[in-house]
Structure 1
Amino acid sequence: MFTIQRLSGAALTIAALALVTSCGTTTLSQVHDGQTDAPVWPAVEKANPLIPATVHPNVESLRKIAVGTPKLEVYRLIGHPMYREGMVGVHEWDYVFKFAESGTGEETTCQYKVLFDDLMLAKQSYWNPAECARFVGEPEAPKAVEAEPYVAAATEVSADFLFAFDSARLSPEAPAAIDAKVVEVLNKAERVESLRVIGYADRLGSAAYNLALSQRRAESVKTYLVSRGIPAEAILAEGRGIADPVKECAGGKSPAVIACLAPNRRVRIEVMAR
């Protein structure tokens, strides 16, 4: 759900896009999904930068523009295109830059063109003349961003099926049930990084007692999985006590309430992947 701050930011983004999309021109080159075999260059003298200082670009920013850079990021890095191309729906941006020659300080005028594919990601770029590329060098290699771990698959089994009531010792039937559930979730996931075993308890008893019981149950399942050859360091055992109940049952402790609360006594097995 949007917060007020996020909604305000979105509104500002829409307003900015509306501003920079005005006065758009047609594409000069024959661009097909961000590529062309014959780039067409507008006249240098017709360039009309919104901010004159942008004719002297930041070279480090230019190096960050590579295949796959989003159009909005290109805009942030080097500014508005200099021929009033607009922003939305335009696949070709042109710039005129001036670079100081090393040693003499004399300025060389260069044209720079970025082409965007159908997803509005940078696909090709050109320099005119081509030798102007020497002022920038090779684009920076995109930095690999390690993905956050996520739950690739998960399953639950009743704690009452694995343990006797109010116990953390695995029942004789538990190994087969655990094996079946672990195989089930592993078959659904790729690039498995770890397993997370989460124990839960019902509300009967104190919160502290139930938290400890759920932790012991998670540890018992972990111990079994280790005995089956899964490295201990790849398994996180976590007890959550009475958190996240799946069923509410009124009344105090009685056989009927114990039976009613059975769905809350469970062990969840999650496969974490990246």
Structure 2
Amino acid sequence: MHKTLKNVGKGALALAASMMLAACGNLSRVDDKGATQEPVWPNPQHATFKNGSYPNLDNLRMVDRGMTKDQLYNLLGRPHFSEGLVGVREWDYWFHFRTPQGDVSCQYKVLFDSDKRAQSFLWKDPACADLLKTGQAAPAQRDFSLGADVLFGFDSAQLSPAGRQEVARIAAELREQPYNSVQVVGHTDRLGAQAYNQRLSEQRAQAVANELRAQGIDGTRMTVTGAGESQPLVNCTQTQRGELLACLKPNRRVDISARS
């Protein structure tokens, strides 16, 4: 019995020692100055932070040489991969960025010197560094402009069947790539009293917003306003009413802007 326990104790010590040795290793061969000639990149499928994260770009731009692990943790959060428990001088991240062309995924590596100060910052794809430049990783935005003549009947704020189908199509696009905010703005042409046009633009914007909500778009992130006749796209001088109504058609609209 004592012999068995003794053997188990030796086995446990050997296992612990092997785990400790493994924990001390980094993926790359990092020198004392916090540099490597051959960076090794982990497989994203092995990330301990499942699916990676969307970093705060302002925080990422603040990262600099000499920072401690605590300072980097405060800016970037915990590393997304596990390189060990002791003596780790390599942190790996799997970041996602929203761009006007769609989401972009990038692997990012921080190397520390022997004093555990950050010294090297690497991107697996060097093009990812461009995303930190001002405006390169601007929030994605989608703009839609719907003709009021398609959405509503004449002098009405009641959505037509065709109008509901058009709003449903836009809602489907917004659900595919969720946005942080959606702005709905109604517009009219200059015909009619200004106060009446303002009220009609608000009613039409609200009708579109209600349909977006019914299609699953979060109403708490939605702003709904009416601009009345104040933001025309065209100015018309025709004297015949029919010609004037046709010319002013682009001004009768509901605009939807979605930002990530």
Class of the TM-score when normalised by the shorter of the 2 chains: 0.3 to 0.5
Q: So what's the TM-score if we normalise by structure 1?
A: 0.44
- Please tell me whether Structure 1 or Structure 2 has the larger radius of gyration of its CA atoms: 1
Q: Normalising to structure 2: TM-score of the pair? A: 0.46
